[in-house]
Structure 1
């Protein structure tokens, strides 16, 4: 998948848009995205929901994997882990993903999520399966 195709995906309705995730930098070697922390992203006690961090991490990893897929292929997350390092109630998160492995059938991406003060909030590793583009 090429950068211009990803530009089209940015405008589609879905979880990424609903959570306010923004694309900052897109390259096959580095993907950066940001996400606010507001009422959409917190658990009942008012702290950042770990699932919101995982959504951000997987979005970064999947986008990076797409940029590394050959024509006719796309990547889907097959496994993700995340270590939540610091609670947040508000602010902005910045997630940076870099590839650890870019293979023919799978990719592994490391994603570090930091807050507006550059403090680590979450670190994640995502394995993605590289498959033929589904029809339709």
Structure 2
């Protein structure tokens, strides 16, 4: 954690990322992470059953002007990891152990929405499917992420 950390700055980061105030204590001193901030990811729904966030294409493109494939994976890993943490509960830690992605179509502008839904919610593993869509609802990519739930 940065030595410049203050609870006020963390609260601002969480609110900017769309995290409801009642969830702030669950994130402790970690916030949403600097990559989430850099990518412009904003949560729009947070629950065990469904984790949804948006990410702008602008600023996250590859050299040809399309959304970078790695940006899809960053969004998927963010959603899957937060969803696994919700399942695991307060005080638990989760770590990603596997992720894969299939890219179905490119996108050059607008906002991408990612939706994580559980495939398996166990005691030690949580697996989610994460689907990214464009503003017209067209599927851009499908990812699957498995997180290991570590003991409290």
Q: Please say whether Structure 1 and Structure 2 have the same fold, judged by a TM-score greater than 0.5.
A: yes
- How many residue pairs get aligned? The number is 131
- Secondary structure of 2:76's counterpart equals helix
Q: Aligned pair 1:57/2:76, yes or no?
A: yes
User: Which whole-Å CA distance do the structure 2 matches of 1:33 and 1:9 have between them?
Assistant: 21
Runs (5+) with no aligned partner, structure 2: 1-21
User: Normalising by the residue count of structure 1, what TM-score does the alignment of the two structures yield?
Assistant: 0.88
The 2-side partners of 1:9 and 1:118 are apart by: 35
Name the counterpart of 2:94: 75
| Closer, same or farther: CA 129–82 of 1 in aligned 2, 3 Å | same
The structure where strand makes up a greater share of residues is: 1
Measure the CA separation in 1 of the matches of 2:137 and 2:125.
30
Larger radius of gyration, structure 1 or 2?
Answer: 2
Instruction: State the Cα RMSD in Å.
Output: 2.0
The answer to which structure, 1 or 2, has the higher relative contact order (CA under 8 A, 6+ apart) is 1
Tell me the CA shift for residue 8 of structure 1. Answer: 5.9
Partner of 1:25: 45
Unaligned runs of 5+ residues in structure 1 are none
SS of 2:24's equivalent in the other structure is: helix
